[in-house]
């Protein structure tokens, strides 16, 4: 790292606002983690509810027993175990339903696999909670075909609000057919909870980045030091480059530190199991052939690029505006305001384009596991891949605009 970059880096990180931002991000990561742990609840072995860490340990114990390939035999066995319990009068209450005690002692262990079966064989746009009571175990021979049928039902459904073309339907069908089966099952609750709050964490990270980078150029105008900086030998070249490099380093640190803290806090409590499981264990109809860890890496990549795009936008605004406060307000309005843009009911393209705004890119898990797609010159490209390319192009364009704006600034 050159001397000028180190100097500009110190100017950013020595501000009290930078340390306040760091503390705030750590506090948010802790809060989001604690909320997820506190909200965890399930029926204990004695039929009473258990909460928090105790519930986490119990669910992990049960789901670890089911870990492995989601085979036809495994599903048939789970159905028979459940239906055998219903055939024993000792396990039923006066209404003929399974007692809480019997469920807690025997049946709850198979919940994960039961939910997958019910999801596959329930009617489209519905969830039949009693399906597992009556389904024939032999129907599991068609489990994976049934999942493909549900994908087709979704693509052809008016409720999808997408009006897919025949080409797009064929594309998504082929994607789903390319997912290797049997699915790999595992305990994935930890990872599921990581995904749940990542959008909120990315949004707050973007705010902090904007807050920390707002004075990089605008601060020079505000303090009246722009005349000194721009009149020096390297003021219109190397100094600007140093400011941009230092800003990038700070942004990367502000992104990955809280993400790492949040992820390890959640998985440290819930368990690191499930990284190699199919993401369909979390989002059953997801069309991507990714494992949970691969989906996580894509999610972090897209969210991080969105935050860097916010940082690049903040720097450009900073080079154009006369004070830091105005930059912060403009960045905040852009981040929050764009999330309130209503979804177009008439134009799918317009609806998808709004997804490329940074504030909407933070929920990238939903896009990766969803059915949004762009048609670019006849080439179909999933939205999550467009997000990556769009972010990189936007950052690459904003940086030279920022460079030129400060370089050509006329000191009054």
Rounded Cα gap, residues 304 and 198, in angstroms: 11
377 confidence band (pLDDT: 50, 70, 90) = confident
Q: Helices 215-223 and 292-320: crossing angle, nearest 10°?
A: 20
109 DSSP 8-state letter: G
123 DSSP 8-state letter: P
Whether 259 and 300 have beta carbons less than 8 Å apart is answered as yes
Q: If you average pLDDT over every residue of the chain, what do you get?
A: 89
* Joined tokens for residue 171: 């594309």
Average pLDDT over residues 251-279: 94
Q: Give the CA count within 13 Å in the CB-facing half-sphere of 50.
A: 13
Determine the straight-line distance between the first and last CA of the chain, rounded to whole angstroms: 33
Rounded Cα gap, residues 52 and 38, in angstroms: 5
* Joined tokens for residue 274: 């499930």
Which candidate, 83, 72, 86, 50, places its Cα nearest to that of 116?
72
* Joined tokens for residue 203: 């949004």
Residues in the chain: 412
Q: pLDDT tens, 86-119?
A: 998 998 888 888 888 888 888 999 999 999 999 9
pTM over 0.85: yes
Higher pLDDT, 194 or 47: 194
Residue 337 clears pLDDT 90, i.e. is over it: no
Average pLDDT over residues 148-164: 81
The confidence score (pLDDT) of residue 408 equals: 76
Burial track 22-45 (b if 16+ CB lie within 10 A, e otherwise) = beebeebbeebbeebbeebebbee
Rounded Cα gap, residues 111 and 119, in angstroms: 12
């Amino acid at each position: 790292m050159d001397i000028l970059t180190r100097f500009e880096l110190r100017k950013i990180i020595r501000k009290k606002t930078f340390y306040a931002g760091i503390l705030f991000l750590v506090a948010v990561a802790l809060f989001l983690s604690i909320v997820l742990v506190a909200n965890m609840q399930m029926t204990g072995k004695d039929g009473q509810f258990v909460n928090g860490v105790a519930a986490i340990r119990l669910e992990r114990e049960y789901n670890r027993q089911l870990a492995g390939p989601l085979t036809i035999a495994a599903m048939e066995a789970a159905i028979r175990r459940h239906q055998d319990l219903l055939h024993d009068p000792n396990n039923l209450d006066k209404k003929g339903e399974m007692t809480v005690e019997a469920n807690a002692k025997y049946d709850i262990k198979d919940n994960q696999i039961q939910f997958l079966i019910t999801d596959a064989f329930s009617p489209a746009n519905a969830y039949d909670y009693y399906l597992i009571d009556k389904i024939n175990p032999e129907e599991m021979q068609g489990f994976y075909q049934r999942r493909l049928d549900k994908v087709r039902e979704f693509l052809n459904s008016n409720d999808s609000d997408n009006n897919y073309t025949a080409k797009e339907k064929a594309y998504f069908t082929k994607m789903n057919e390319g997912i290797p089966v049997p699915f790999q099952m595992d305990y994935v609750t930890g990872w599921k909870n990581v995904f749940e709050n990542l959008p909120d964490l990315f949004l707050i990270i973007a705010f902090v980045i904007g807050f920390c980078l707002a004075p990089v150029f605008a601060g020079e105008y505000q303090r009246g030091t722009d005349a000194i900086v721009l009149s020096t030998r390297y003021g219109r070249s190397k100094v600007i480059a140093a400011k941009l490099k230092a800003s990038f380093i700070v942004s990367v640190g502000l992104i990955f530190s809280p993400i790492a803290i949040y992820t390890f806090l959640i998985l440290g409590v819930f368990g690191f199991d499930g990284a190699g499981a199919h993401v369909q264990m979390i989002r059953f109809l997801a069309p991507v052939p990714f494992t949970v860890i691969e989906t996580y890496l894509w999610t972090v990549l897209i969210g991080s690029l969105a935050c860097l795009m916010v940082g690049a936008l903040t720097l450009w605004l900073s080079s154009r505006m006369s004070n830091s406060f105005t930059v912060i307000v403009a960045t905040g309005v852009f981040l929050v305001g764009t999330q309130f843009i209503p979804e177009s009911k008439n134009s799918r393209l317009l609806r998808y384009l709004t997804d490329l705004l940074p504030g909407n890119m933070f929920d990238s898990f939903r896009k990766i596991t969803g059915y949004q797609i762009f048609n670019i010159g006849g080439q179909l490209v999933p939205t999550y891949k467009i997000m990556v390319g769009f972010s990189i192009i936007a950052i690459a364009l904003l940086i030279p605009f920022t460079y030129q704006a400060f370089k050509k600034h006329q000191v009054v």
